[in-house]
Structure 1
Amino acid sequence: MDSLTQIVLGAAVGEAVLGKKVGNKAMLYGAIAGTIPDLDTFVGNFFDTITAIEIHRGFSHSIVFSIVFAPVFGWLISKIESKSEATWKNWSWLMFWGLFTHPLLDAHTTWGTQLFWPFDLRLAYKNIFVIDPLYTLPFLIFLILAMRLKRTDPKRKKYNRLGLIISSIYLLLITPALKFYTFQKFENALESQNIQYERMDTRPTPLNSILWTANIETEDAFLIGNYSIFDSQPVNFYSVPKNYDLAGDLADNPNLHRLIQISEGWYTFSKDNGNLYFNDLRFGNMDIEDPDSEFIFSYKLSEEHGELTAKEREKEMTDAQKLLPRLWARILGN
């Protein structure tokens, strides 16, 4: 999830664990714990693109990381807050839950997380977008209400608990129910249109859980369709050719296979100005209403010193500015 959401979750968890003893400092250190796992993005800057992608949401998002580093961070905080009535064990417990709930939340996104690192198993339930105001804003409001009260005020605990309960209901009940409902709609549409397919994957579109996208794999192409719970017209699917033949001599390249594994097999190749691109289909197009628009995650492939390298295609702010109005219009139904 985005940084703000992880800060809110970490602060709320910190309050739940230690707020009664240390007040707003529990929120502060909980918020810090909630941001620590994402420092792997800075580590990735010291590696090539493919390795950086593999590192993201890996070790720092695992149970192992939470268990190993919670007591270390807890010890550091106990030294900083030496006058606090909270002990090293108290701070360690707070840090553990702040670190651990971060990947638990990330597991619900499309990218997922390697919670059980070092095992090669990425959890990705794909029932919430990385930025979802319906999850974050109510949570944030209750957290602000709680932090404005004294630590001994019973309403403080009540507000914080309400924020945790409401956000959890949305994450664990409402969005999975919407995913199941829309999955059935896509299945019915494929059946009614007599489309034979090998597998299907669904996810919410940016900033909401109302409009969903499905990726469907067929023998020679991928079909992509969108469905809003406000739709009144049948689901339409457009085809994206796999173009696997464009890989040519790179087909057996180990670095290419690393990208394929990262994409979970949801990928195509395309050419632009003579350059070969690897497109990760899991995150959709830049413009949901334009099938010919670029994919959000597209990598230019080239060989440097005899080794295949990947460079992410740069995105412009104007791309997002065009996307949002069209996305909103599509959310409201076809």
Structure 2
Amino acid sequence: MDSLTQIVLGAAIGEVVLGKKVGNKAMLYGAIAGTIPDLDVFASYFTDTVTALSIHRGFTHSIVFSILFAPIFGWIVSRYETFKNFKSWSWLFFWAFVTHPILDAHTTWGTQLFWPFDLRLAFKTIFVIDPIYTLPFLVFLILTIRQKRTSKKRNFYNKMGLLVSSSYLVLTFLLKWIAFNQFESALETQNIAYLQLDTRPSPLNTILWSANVETKDAYLLGNYSFFDSQPITFETYPKNHELLGDLVINEKVQRMIKISEGWYTITKKNESLYFNDLRFGLLSLTPKAQNFVFQFKIDVDNSGKVEFIEAPKDTRDGKKLLSELWIRLKGN
């Protein structure tokens, strides 16, 4: 999830663990702890694109990280804070660390919660930024901060924030199930034979859902809103995996295929090959659009070394997409 959401969650967890003993400092340290797992994004400044993508939401988003580093941070804080209880500070950091990846596991990218096991947990029930999850949670957190440490209202507001946000998170599973059934029914009605069906919410909401459908030679992309009155339509995108040629056995190419979970197409522009990760869709709802959210140029130098270079995004595409999503959300 986005940084603000993780800060709010971390602060609320900090309040649960140590709020009665240290007051707002519990929220402060919880908020800090809630952002620490995302420091893995700095890997992109020190390594290549493929490695950085592999690292993202890996070790720092695991239970192992929470167990190993919570006592370290707990010990550091207990050395200089007035409240010296090492165990309590360690518990605060542990729960703030571990709830961070559990929340992230609900997004499309998912997390390697069980690192070092090669398993990425991704429920794909909520977009990385969802105001319906974050804003009520933030309001209750602000109400909590305004109360005295010993106030019953303080405990009530904080628990309500956790309850409301968690209830919405549970609701997203039901919404995903309904959307999945709608896509499944549409494919059956249209006599489309497929190998896999994958669904996810569109940006900023859980009303409009997107689907990736794998067939033998292509992927079908479709959208469904709970306000739709017309049948679901699908756009076809050829896999073009054969364009990779001998590159398919390259170690970095294989890693990118694994990162994308096999949901990728290859396109060719001006003699250059591009790797398109389909899991995050497109920056447009226009039929046959090609501006994928995550598109990488496959660069091969004279020595045969392969590098993936992320294609630049036009900010105008993002603004246009928001407008298109709002219109599409209201039904077809």
**What is the TM-score normalised by the length of structure 1?**
0.98
In the alignment, which residue of structure 1 is the partner of 2:33? 33
| Alpha-carbon distance, 1:292 to partner | 1.4
SS in structure 2 of the partner of residue 36 of structure 1 = helix
**Equivalent runs, 1:254-293 vs 2, <5 Å:** 254-293=251-290
Structure 1 CA distance for aligned equivalents of residues 162 and 269 of structure 2: 47
In the alignment, which residue of structure 2 is the partner of 1:183? 180
| Alpha-carbon distance, 1:255 to partner | 1.1
8 A contact 1:44–1:56 mirrored in 2: no
Residue-by-residue CA offset, 1:15-41 (whole Å, 9 max, x unaligned): 011101111100000001100000000
| Alpha-carbon distance, 1:249 to partner | 2.2
Structure 1 CA distance for aligned equivalents of residues 287 and 216 of structure 2: 23
Structure 2 CA distance for aligned equivalents of residues 331 and 43 of structure 1: 36
Structure 2 CA distance for aligned equivalents of residues 118 and 194 of structure 1: 42
Structure 2 CA distance for aligned equivalents of residues 288 and 92 of structure 1: 47
Which letter does structure 2 place at the counterpart of 1:38? D
In the alignment, which residue of structure 2 is the partner of 1:317? 315
| Alpha-carbon distance, 1:253 to partner | 1.3
Structure 2 CA distance for aligned equivalents of residues 203 and 29 of structure 1: 33
8 A contact 2:235–2:287 mirrored in 1: no
**Equivalent runs, 1:199-238 vs 2, <5 Å:** 199-238=196-235
| Alpha-carbon distance, 1:137 to partner | 0.3
Pick the aligned partner of 2:237 from 237, 240, 243.
Answer: 240
**Equivalent runs, 1:99-248 vs 2, <5 Å:** 99-172=97-170, 174-248=171-245
Which letter does structure 2 place at the counterpart of 1:283? F
| Alpha-carbon distance, 1:317 to partner | 1.4
Structure 1 CA distance for aligned equivalents of residues 149 and 217 of structure 2: 61
Which letter does structure 2 place at the counterpart of 1:110? T
Structure 2 CA distance for aligned equivalents of residues 331 and 300 of structure 1: 32
SS in structure 1 of the partner of residue 93 of structure 2 = helix
Percent identical among aligned pairs is: 63
8 A contact 2:280–2:293 mirrored in 1: yes
Structure 2 CA distance for aligned equivalents of residues 289 and 207 of structure 1: 19
SS in structure 1 of the partner of residue 312 of structure 2 = coil
- Structure 1 unaligned regions, length at least 5: none
Deviates more, 1:245-254 or 1:227-236: 245-254
1:44 equivalent in alignment to 2:44: yes
Pick the aligned partner of 1:295 from 270, 292, 295.
Answer: 292
8 A contact 1:285–1:291 mirrored in 2: no
Which letter does structure 1 place at the counterpart of 2:132? L
Structure 2 CA distance for aligned equivalents of residues 131 and 49 of structure 1: 23
Residue-by-residue CA offset, 1:207-257 (whole Å, 9 max, x unaligned): 000000010000000001100001010000110000112112212212111
Residue-by-residue CA offset, 1:287-328 (whole Å, 9 max, x unaligned): 123431310001000113422110111112111111111110
8 A contact 1:44–1:55 mirrored in 2: no
- Structure 2 unaligned regions, length at least 5: none
Structure 1 CA distance for aligned equivalents of residues 207 and 286 of structure 2: 16
In the alignment, which residue of structure 1 is the partner of 2:77? 77
Which letter does structure 2 place at the counterpart of 1:91? W
Which letter does structure 2 place at the counterpart of 1:307? K
SS in structure 2 of the partner of residue 302 of structure 1 = strand
In the alignment, which residue of structure 2 is the partner of 1:65? 65
Structure 1 CA distance for aligned equivalents of residues 20 and 139 of structure 2: 20
Runs of 4+ in structure 1 displaced over 6 angstroms? none
SS in structure 2 of the partner of residue 239 of structure 1 = strand
Structure 2 CA distance for aligned equivalents of residues 288 and 168 of structure 1: 31
In the alignment, which residue of structure 2 is the partner of 1:326? 324
**What is the TM-score normalised by the length of structure 2?**
0.98
Which letter does structure 1 place at the counterpart of 2:167? I
The count of corresponding residues between Structure 1 and Structure 2 is 331
